[in-house]
Chain A
């Protein structure tokens, strides 16, 4: 089987944007081609477009041929949209890697993003009622996840003593990491006190515990190991392990609230495919849509013992110079979270880290991991990247 390598990556500016979805895709595609001038649109034979809300918020379906047209790409191997809400971008990368490894495609652009700020702000929140089981959880007003994650935190605190201060340590770290990221939504440092005294969103979760609403897009180009050598002289960044696990969908069936079993399943399979363990991961971009998510992700990805995620953050073990640097580009908390773009943004940062090109470099990083969860914390998507 061939290798699948990341040979280019770029993104639009993320945040509250004066641009439509298709314009955000054009910005991301252009930034991606500019990242590697050896690759031209004519070199691309497949496109996978990750977007979760294009019908609801941009009235557009049949997105992949449209994005291809706007970027001057004519496909011959694959041209489709991929949707798994917050895991859409990572899902598309997994599928692209499979196409390349099997030889069905040569070179694929994976591009994802969302236009979430609508003229009427309420429309965004309201549209998310369709992102959980619409008839049973959406109808209870549970479309946006803060309430769900608030209850996750309350249960984690009751079981393991995790504190609001420990959550605040994560928002401070990720905001600090985001200072170096010119494309991110927030580039402002916050203090522990800012985090602790912020207004509640779903108490005890407060403003800085939650990622924002974001417009933005991101793109990467994947190709085979042989072709990659024609496009770059840098160390090749390869996808060496992937996994996607689910245990249910509706909230009533979501299983253990504080140990995310589908995440453990996905992690175990991805590590096994990559031939590494959690201890080998040098840098990780995990799904910090909420600070409590990052706590449980440290635990269930195996970076620390169960119940010790809060202490792990507090001791700086997920920071630069710690055990594993997590969310080195600022994560969702700083960069924002245009659902389909997030997994691709994570891939761009991991590729930079493994090539030694990151804005804030983890010295000698050899193995990188990305993680997303989606829906009511019911689907978990992991990719592991390695380099030559």
Chain B
């Protein structure tokens, strides 16, 4: 990441979330992700499942939430490749698929691990893929620490 900005005027946007318990209340999402689990929060009071995960139920405003697992395998319904304007930090080909993970949950996600749009088809099975992303050099009080980060996409499940 650093090299991409050498000799350029100073412009940076962090592409990934604030992870780590020093920076976010939903840090468990990222800890579970490191274990290969895709999770979200469910309201203990009213049962509402929210995604992305929350600290407050948007249905009843309760803060009593529990972590639940989402499916990590699904089926490609539609897909496309962004040919123009691929953002810095994203590799080409930048392919997105609308994936049905369960009857009630679908997600528009990046597809990694394929060389060409020709390698993906409607109906293909895909599975969660977790990968490392650049850590955050954080100043917490007087300490300078490095917060490791992960993020996720999907890959073909052959």
Q: A-contacting residues of B (Cβ < 8 Å)? A: 8-9, 11, 13, 15-18, 51-52, 78-90, 94, 96, 98, 105-110, 117, 151, 153
Please classify the interface of chain B as helix (H, G, I), strand (E, B), loop, or mixed, using the class held by over half of its residues. Answer: loop
Give the total of A residues in contact with B, Cβ under 8 Å. Answer: 43
Contact of A139 (CB < 8 Å), options: B17, B79, B80: B17
Chain B residues whose C-beta falls within 8 Å of the C-beta of A205 in the assembled complex: 80
Q: Which residues of B contact A56 (CB under 8 A)?
A: 13
A227 on interface, CB distance cutoff 8 Å: no
Task: Determine whether the beta carbon of B52 is less than 8 Å from that of A135.
Answer: yes
**Inter-chain contact A151/B52, CB cutoff 8 Å:** no
Interchain residue pairs with CB less than 8 A apart (15): A119-B9, A124-B85, A125-B85, A125-B87, A126-B13, A140-B96, A144-B87, A146-B80, A146-B85, A151-B108, A154-B80, A203-B81, A203-B117, A251-B108, A252-B108
Contact B83 A151, beta carbon cutoff 8 Å: no
Most buried by B among A123, A141, A142: A141
Q: Determine the distance from Cα of A199 to Cα of B122 in the docked complex, in whole angstroms.
A: 22
Cβ–Cβ contact B87 & A128, under 8 A: yes
Complexed CA–CA distance, A135 and B106 (Å):
17
A361 interfacial by beta-carbon distance below 8 Å: no
- Chain A residues positioned under 8 Å from B80 (CB to CB): 146-147, 150-151, 154, 202-205
A140 contacts B109, C-beta separation under 8 Å: yes
Binding site for B on A (CB under 8 A): 56, 118-120, 122-130, 133-144, 146-148, 150-151, 154-155, 199-205, 250-253
Contact of B117 with A141 in the complex, beta carbons under 8 Å: no
Q: Cβ of A118: which chain B residues have Cβ within 8 Å of it?
A: 11
Q: Known contacts A151-B80, A154-B78; is A143 also within 8 Å of B17 by CB?
A: no
B78 touching A142, Cβ below 8 Å: no
Query: Which of A127, A140, A203 has a CB less than 8 Å from the CB of B153?
Result: A140
Residue of B nearest to A207 (CB): B84
Closest chain-A Cβ to B81's Cβ sits at a distance in Å of: 6
Q: State whether A141 and B13 are in contact (beta carbons under 8 Å apart), knowing that A126-B87, A203-B117 are contacts in the complex.
A: no
For residue B16, which residues in chain A have a CB less than 8 angstroms away from its CB? 135, 139
A127-B13, A134-B17, A203-B81 given as contacts; is B106 within 8 A of A141 (CB)?
A: no
Q: Which residues of A contact B87 (CB under 8 A)?
A: 122, 125-126, 128-129, 141, 143-144
